[in-house]
Amino acid sequence: MQWEVVIGLETHAQLSTVSKIFSGSSTAFGAEPNTQAAAIDLALPGVLPVLNRKAVECAIRFGLAVGAEVSPRSVFARKNYFYPDLPKGYQISQFELPVVVGGNLVLQVGQGENAYEKTVRLTRAHLEEDAGKSLHEDFHGKTGIDLNRAGTPLLEIVSEPDMRSSAEAVAYAKTLHALVRWIGICDGNMQEGSFRCDANVSVRPKGQEAFGTRREIKNLNSFRFLQQAIDYEVRWQIETLEDGGKIEQATVLFDPDTGETRAMRSKEDAQDYRYFPDPDLLPLVISDAWKAEVKATMPELPGEKRARLEAEYGLSAYDAATLTASLEVADYFDAALAALGAAGKAQAKTVANWVMGELSARLNKDGREIGDSPVSAAQLAGLVARIGDNTISNAIAKKVFEALWNGDGQSADEVIDKQGLKQITDSGAIEKLVDEVLAANPGNVAEYKAGKEKAFNALVGQVMKAAKGKANPQQVNDLLKAKLAG
Amino acid sequence: MSLTLDQVARIAHLARIEVTPAESEAVRDKLNGILAMIDELQSVDTTNVAPMAHAQDLAQRLRDDAVTETDRRAAYQAVAPETEAGLYLVPKVIE
């Protein structure tokens, strides 16, 4: 049977505030346990939550960025459950009236020729507080509780079940990750748990309208785990169904060591959160004026930038999408174009090729991010400028790039100068080399004249070798052709 | 609407309140009394009334994003039943 995979994602993005969502405690990561847990975070009697304006502003930014409705009035609700790292016995969240409703995220799935665009609908995004941390290492048979994280502001972003493969789910998570960093509402640090995903996964016979029963994979904090967990879960569900079994709705955990998902010990009351409006908090009102104020501070969004790169510089849709896949890459590209000044527009395609080609390949190979690239945007711009004015060929440019990468020079000009890489464009000098090569290779000349095209390439190679790669390839070609024809 | 004894037991469990079998009938009757009042409220036509989220018709006040709390862990932990290495200790919970 042909199966179709259905995936929806719930993502928790930790908002970039310095203080907690309902208290004035610091949210800085890595502090000594419980040194950033004040009376409100501990749920001591008599305390009241007061909402952090910046957390709301982050939610507005997100709503505007995904074309959603920012609710003029939203309501905080209590989600009731008992766990020691949740001192109040409830989490303050939003239920019936979330702060952000609807919206879309446009993804590029796959790479190169197989790449395609997909729009995933968003259901909602709501503000809530994080819980503390339970440490189950042995404290004489007890559990240790650190409440520094309790009350950290989160935006939970919920997608519609629009994804049909793990590749689409990963593309969604990556696009969302890039977006929240782009608009400055989340640092996106997945190791520290600032961005984590839950995946709702089900399968159904292809063509069937009704969804299958879903299982929710909790707390995936890397794109690789997200992919592995979904792939495993899908295989498991299909095998179970094909063996005549039934899928029970459940919450499962992914074990990175075994690559498997397994059901958490079922909490009989897991789904009974008994939400109700939190009487400690009044409805959150967001005026049009506030929305307009926030909108005025929004950066150019990835989608807008993509369209502009295509229109302004004639870049392909794929190039534009790749260059706007993260704020860092986009900033690097912008900085390189800015460094090229007036020549930037004409060189945009070349800069794009270098950023997506050589630079990206080297970064991948060394496991580095573009933010700490040894070759700065200004240095790359200097290199592209020298290709543009024919000082060096593409082949030599790769050598220069390598030198810059290894720190053998501050600029392309310095490397070219120091290593004598300047391209030979003096036609007299090239002609001399061509004559020498023709005289020394009568065999190739005869073959070429007999109609063997390959012999021509051999001759070009010889000239380039004699020129130590520095002769202008076009001039070599032209001169050789002219001489052989004559 | 009225509750069964099983439902009373379940509600008690969700609230982590111990209700003995001997008490459960009395608790059920009290809860049913509250539900009867709610039934009466349900009979009011609320077709054009927006649900109320709070008894006061006001908007939430907001505070600036600033750290105003200092570390008072020692004071808080002085009244905690058990602590170690800066952590509050609780009976073992494993999900």
Q: Which of A52, A146, A282 sits opposite B54 (nearest CB)?
A: A282
pLDDT reported for residue A484: 84
Q: How far apart are CA A419 and CA A417, in angstroms?
A: 6
Long-range contacts of residues A295-303, Cβ cutoff 8 Å, at least 24 apart = A295/A64, A298/A61, A298/A64, A298/A65, A298/A183, A299/A182, A299/A183, A299/A184, A301/A65, A301/A179, A301/A182, A301/A183, A302/A178, A302/A179, A302/A182, A302/A330, A303/A106
> For the domain with range B5-41, which CATH number is right: 3.40.50, 1.20.1050, 1.10.20, 3.30.70?
1.10.20
Residues 391 to 430 of A: which have CB under 8 A from any B CB?
A: none
Contact A285 B84 (CB under 8 A): no
Task: Quick: pLDDT tens for A428-454.
Answer: 888 888 888 888 888 888 888 888 888
- Segment 35-74 of chain B within 8 Å of chain A by CB: 51, 53-56, 58-69, 71-73
- Highest average pLDDT, of A13-17, A138-142, A328-332, B41-45, comes from A13-17
- Cβ neighbors of A129 (< 8 A, separation 6 or more) are A20, A21, A22, A91, A92, A93, A150, A151, A152, A153, A154
Dihedral (CA of B72, A132, A75, B46) sign: negative
* 3-state DSSP assignment of residue A370: helix
| Residue B72 Cα, gap to closest chain A Cα (Å) | 7
Can you say how many angstroms the Cα of residue A464 is from the centroid of all Cα atoms in its chain? 41
Are B89 and A143 an interchain contact pair (Cβ–Cβ within 8 Å)?
Answer: yes
- A230 and A199 in contact (C-beta within 8 Å)? yes
Task: State the Cα–Cα distance between residues A212 and A8, nearest whole angstrom.
Answer: 13
- pLDDT of B89 reads 95
Q: What is the structure's pLDDT at A452?
A: 84
Task: Kindly determine whether residue B66 and residue A141, on different chains, have CB atoms separated by under 8 Å.
Answer: no
Q: What is the H or E stretch that residue A78 is in?
A: strand A76-80
CB-based contact, A282 to chain B, within 8 Å:
yes
Phi, psi of A399 (to 5 degrees): -65, -45
Nearest CA in chain B to A89: B15
A269 confidence band (pLDDT: 50, 70, 90):
very low
pLDDT in tens, A166-177: 999 999 999 999
Task: Determine what percent of chain A is predicted with pLDDT higher than 90.
Answer: 70
DSSP code per residue over A202-260: EEEETT--S----EEEEEE-SHHHHHHHHHHHHHHHHHHHHTT--PPPEEEEEETTTTE
Q: Please check whether residue B89 is in contact with residue B82, taking contact to mean a CB–CB distance below 8 angstroms.
A: yes
Stretch A298-322: mean pLDDT: 92
Q: In this structure, are residues A412 and A385 in contact, taking their beta carbons and an 8 Å threshold?
A: yes
**How do residues A361-408 score in pLDDT, each as one tens digit?**
999 999 999 989 999 999 999 999 988 888 888 888 998 999 999 998
Separation between Cα atoms, residue A63 and residue B17, nearest integer Å: 41
Q: Find out whether A105 and B49 touch, Cβ atoms under 8 Å.
A: no
The predicted pLDDT at position A420 comes to 78
Nearest neighbour of B60 by CB, restricted to A134, A143, A284: A284
- Tell me A356's DSSP state: I
Chain B residues within an 8 Å CB radius of A75: 53
Phi, psi of A109 (to 5 degrees): -105, 135
pLDDT of residue A309: 93
For residues B7-14, average pLDDT: 91
pLDDT of residue A266: 57
Q: What would the DSSP string read from start to end of A383-421?
A: HHHHHHTTSS-HHHHHHHHHHHHTTS-SSHHHHHHHHT-
Please report the pLDDT score of residue A271 as a whole number. Answer: 67
Residue of B nearest to A52 (CA): B63
What is the least distance, in Å, from the CA of A146 to any CA of chain B?
6
| In the block, residue with structure tokens 């061509």 | A434
Mean pLDDT score, A243-265: 90
A286-300, A419-433, B28-42: least confident range: A419-433
Asked whether residue A102 carries a pLDDT value surpassing 50, the answer given is yes
Least Cα separation, residue A148 to chain B (angstroms):
10
From the CB of residue B78, how many other CB atoms can be counted at a distance below 10 Å?
Answer: 9
Instruction: Tell me if chain B has a CB within 8 Å of the CB of A94.
Output: no
Give the mean model confidence (pLDDT) for residues A17-43: 97
State the pLDDT at residue B79.
94
Report which of A162, A165, A170, A160 is spatially closest to residue A225, judged by C-alpha positions: A170
A179 band by pLDDT with thresholds 50, 70 and 90: very high
- Would the pLDDT of A159 be above 50? yes
Domain range summary for chain B, segments of one domain joined by +: 5-41
Non-local (6+) Cβ contacts of A228 within 8 A are: A254, A256, A259
Rounded-to-integer distance, Cα A337 and Cα A75, Å: 46
Residue A65 has pLDDT above 50, yes or no: yes
pLDDT digit string (tens) for A339-366? 998 888 889 999 999 999 999 999 999 9
Measured between CB atoms, does B75 come within 8 Å of chain A? no
pLDDT band at A270 (very low <50, low <70, confident <90, very high): low
pLDDT in tens, A132-154: 999 987 788 899 999 999 999 99
Contact A277 B85 (CB under 8 A): no
Q: How many CB atoms lie within 10 A of CB A59?
A: 29
Between A195-204, A440-449, B40-49, the lowest mean confidence (pLDDT) is in: A440-449
Region of A355 (left: φ > 0; alpha: ψ -120 to 50; beta: rest) is: alpha
pLDDT at position A70 over 80: yes
Instruction: Determine whether the interchain pair B67/A25 forms a contact, defined as Cβ–Cβ distance below 8 Å.
Output: yes
Chain B within 8 Å of A24 (Cβ-Cβ)? yes
Predicted local confidence at residue A442, as pLDDT? 87
CB A380 within 8 A of CB A350: no
Helix (H) or strand (E) holding A271: none
- DSSP single-letter state for residue A146: E
Kindly determine whether residue A50 and residue B13, on different chains, have CB atoms separated by under 8 Å. no
The average pLDDT across A288-308 equals 95
Interface test mutation site (partner B, options A21, A95, A139, max chain B beta carbons within 10 A): A139
A271 touches chain B (CB under 8 A): no
- Place A265 in a pLDDT band, splitting at 50, 70 and 90: low
- pLDDT reading at A267 higher than 70: no
Sequential DSSP letters for A287-335: -HHHHHHHHHTPPPPHHHHHHHHHHHH---HHHHHHHTSSHHHHHHHHH
Q: Is some CB atom of chain A closer than 8 A to the CB atom of B32?
A: no
| A28 vs A464, more confident | A28
Q: Any CB–CB contact under 8 A between A36 and chain B?
A: yes
Q: Distance between CA atoms of A185 and A13, rounded to whole angstroms?
A: 8
Computed over every residue of chain A, the mean pLDDT equals 92
